[in-house]
Amino acid sequence: MTNPKNAPAKSQDKPPFIGDIDRSRPIGAQIYEAVRLNIILENLKPLEPINEAELAKWFGVSRTPVRDAYLRLIEDGLISTQNKVGTMVAPMNDARVREGIIIRRALEREVVKIICTGDKDLRALDKIIALQSVAVSHGDYIEFFRLDEEFHAEMANLAELPSAWRLAHSVKAHTDRARIVLTSNLPNRINIAFQEHLAIVDALVARDEELAQALVTKHINSAIEAVKDDA
């Protein structure tokens, strides 16, 4: 029988939602994206401690790239550091959700307007939709939300507004957290976002500017009910 005193602490075991690091890519950015995504999906829950040394162990890296990721997550308002308490996942902030809705709504309405008035090939969006369909069928939340980031980034690229995506990305985590809270009791919550993506792509293919703007507004506004006052 194993002596409990000699058994490793459960918190030191690498969680299943923490993936492997690709050493050919910037490590700090990968840690940032992994932790950010798992805060959104509530695999890392509000007020849950996040230990820098433990994260470094999970990812098999030094503490330097972890610290870089920490700084970005603090700036995004996703983690917070308090004296005598340490670093933890920040609770969902109503003000940041409202701010995120307003910024994303303005930016993405303009993005779909530009796409609809142009003649860009939209097959890149079809490829992402196909991959999202697989993720939905497998119930793979992490892969779906990775592709969700890719979907919105590609729309910004098609509109030739990459800076708009960088701004939207910084606030998107808060609106996505709100969406997760709203749909937490639904058996296949990612399918809701997927169906909205399908409708948006159909409107873009039809170059229906009015419909595309209405759909992207609905897609983003779905987070409003998670906060007390409308944005």
Summarised one tens digit per residue, pLDDT across range 60-74 is 899 999 999 999 999
Distances 231 to 7, 94, 103, 181 between C-alpha atoms, Å: 49, 10, 10, 17
Give 132 or 81, the one with higher predicted confidence.
Answer: 132
pLDDT at 1 over 80: no
Domains of the chain by range and CATH?
A: 13-89 (1.10.10.10), 94-226 (1.20.120.530)
Contact between 76 and 173 under an 8 Å Cβ cutoff? The reply is: yes
In 3D, which of 217, 220, 190, 230 has the Cα closest to residue 94?
230
Two tokens, residue 68:
């870089």
Contact between 130 and 94 under an 8 Å Cβ cutoff? The reply is: no
Summarised one tens digit per residue, pLDDT across range 112-136 is 999 999 999 999 999 999 999 999 9
> Which pLDDT score, from 0 to 100, does residue 7 have?
36
Q: What is the pTM of this model?
A: 0.76
> Which pLDDT score, from 0 to 100, does residue 225 have?
63
> Which pLDDT score, from 0 to 100, does residue 167 have?
82
- The SS3 of residue 87 is strand
